Amino acid sequence: MRKDIRTVTVGVDGSRAGLDAADWAAREAERRRLTLRLLHAGGEPTASVPASVPVPGSGLGPTPVPGAAPGSVPRPRARGARTRPALEQSAVPARELQRGILDRAAVRLSYAHPTLQIAARRTDTPALPALLEAATESETVVLGSRGFSGFTGFLVGSVALAVAADAACPVVLVRAGELPPDERVPADTGGDTTSPARTPYLPVVLGLDLEEPADELIGYAFDAAGVRAAPLHVVHAWTLPPLREGAGGAGEPGDTAAQQDARERLLAAALGPWRHKFPQTEVSEEVVYGHAGHHLLKASTRAGLLVVGRSVAGAGLGRAAHSLVHHSTCPVAVVPHD
């Protein structure tokens, strides 16, 4: 992870998924004492929008759109006239609309996080290249994982997946509906019901391939657990290679006990230096037989963040990471590594 970059970037478009991702990104920036950058990309020259647009989930009520008369209300229609929309429509330049989306998101987040530094950026560049460019100057990029459906079609699920598969920095995909209590221990299992802020964070789960125990990946997971004062649970899943006729050795079923023991030693050795670097972090290790996607999905049900790697030399996310992005019950951080 690049320590010289001090920004968390989040893609926003005013949708529910975008606002939930922005909420998560604001908390992450605050935990890491970084600047939060709101990014709105793409857009057409003009867009027809209601004269008054509610801010989803903000509690701030309707916000006037540039170009609409203050207090606009529907005109009474003559008997037999064609039905009109409930609100007067106004053709508003997309640039003004995008600026309004950014402004409202910034105001909403500044109320919730008064000490957080927030910057906003709008660009006409399409979403994918704009986000990939932002990744080169961000410590983390955060996106909604269920896709965006804002007024200009800012981002869809395929774009989020493409960013996660090709970005130069870690990409966190946050599901729509993710709330602050979701990353903390539930009250019925030890959480503090009187002060949610004092409730411990759920564990960070790291899926680790011992064939590629990259420092970038392990470092990100330890750092994420450290800033949360959360435990770190490291999962390594393995399977025997398919048996080939006439071939013996490591692939034989009777060798599973030796393989298990060897992998447990390798995992302990890979984590040893990081345990020393983060002595306050509680670390548990799990070596399991089976497919990584299955075991990590199971672990995600008890986690606040799931961390997986992506080799920059590979093609795309890989089967396990792709499955986790679609099905994990907690936010997923995809970390590129050599």
Are 210 and 263 in contact, with CB atoms under 8 Å apart? yes
Residue 249 has pLDDT above 60, yes or no: no
What is the spatial distance between Cα 203 and Cα 300, in angstroms, rounded to a whole number?
Answer: 9
Helix boundaries (H) for the chain: 16-32, 94-112, 127-135, 157-166, 215-228, 256-277, 292-300, 319-327
| pLDDT band at residue 61 using 50, 70 and 90 as cut-offs | very low
DSSP reduced 3-state for 55: coil
* Average confidence (pLDDT) over 33-52: 65
Residue 206 has pLDDT above 60, yes or no: yes
Question: Tell me, what's the pLDDT at 177?
Answer: 86
Strand partners, 47: 92
Question: Tell me, what's the pLDDT at 153?
Answer: 36
Q: List CB contacts of 284: < 8 A, sequence separation 6 or more.
A: 231, 232, 233, 234
Cα-flanking dihedrals φ and ψ of residue 300, to 5°? -65, -20
For 184, which DSSP code?
B
Residue 75 has pLDDT above 80, yes or no: no
Question: Tell me, what's the pLDDT at 69?
Answer: 38
What is the spatial distance between Cα 205 and Cα 322, in angstroms, rounded to a whole number?
Answer: 17
C-alpha 34: how far from chain center? 16
Question: Tell me, what's the pLDDT at 254?
Answer: 56
- Environment class of 272 (CB within 10 Å of its CB; exposed 0-12, middle 13-18, buried 19+): exposed
* Average confidence (pLDDT) over 32-43: 90
Are 251 and 243 in contact, with CB atoms under 8 Å apart? yes
| pLDDT band at residue 150 using 50, 70 and 90 as cut-offs | very low
Residue 100 has pLDDT above 90, yes or no: no
**67 or 239, greater pLDDT:** 239
DSSP reduced 3-state for 198: helix
Closest CA relative to residue 176, chosen from 131, 208, 128, 143: 143
Length of the chain: 338
**257 or 230, greater pLDDT:** 230
Question: Tell me, what's the pLDDT at 102?
Answer: 86
Pick the range with the lowest mean pLDDT from 47-56, 200-209, 294-303, 313-322: 47-56
- Environment class of 197 (CB within 10 Å of its CB; exposed 0-12, middle 13-18, buried 19+): exposed
Pick the range with the lowest mean pLDDT from 2-16, 53-67, 166-180: 53-67
pTM: 0.78
For 85, which DSSP code?
-
| pLDDT band at residue 252 using 50, 70 and 90 as cut-offs | low
What is the spatial distance between Cα 324 and Cα 332, in angstroms, rounded to a whole number?
Answer: 8
* Average confidence (pLDDT) over 7-21: 88
Name, of 80-84, 162-166, 196-200, 247-251, the range with top average pLDDT. Answer: 162-166
Are 275 and 222 in contact, with CB atoms under 8 Å apart? no
Six-digit token pair at 193? Answer: 């019901």
Closest CA relative to residue 171, chosen from 147, 209, 199, 135: 135
How do beta strands 232-238 and 305-311 pair? unpaired
Q: Which residue is listed with tokens 């299955």?
A: 294
What is the spatial distance between Cα 22 and Cα 36, in angstroms, rounded to a whole number?
Answer: 9
What is the spatial distance between Cα 156 and Cα 146, in angstroms, rounded to a whole number?
Answer: 8
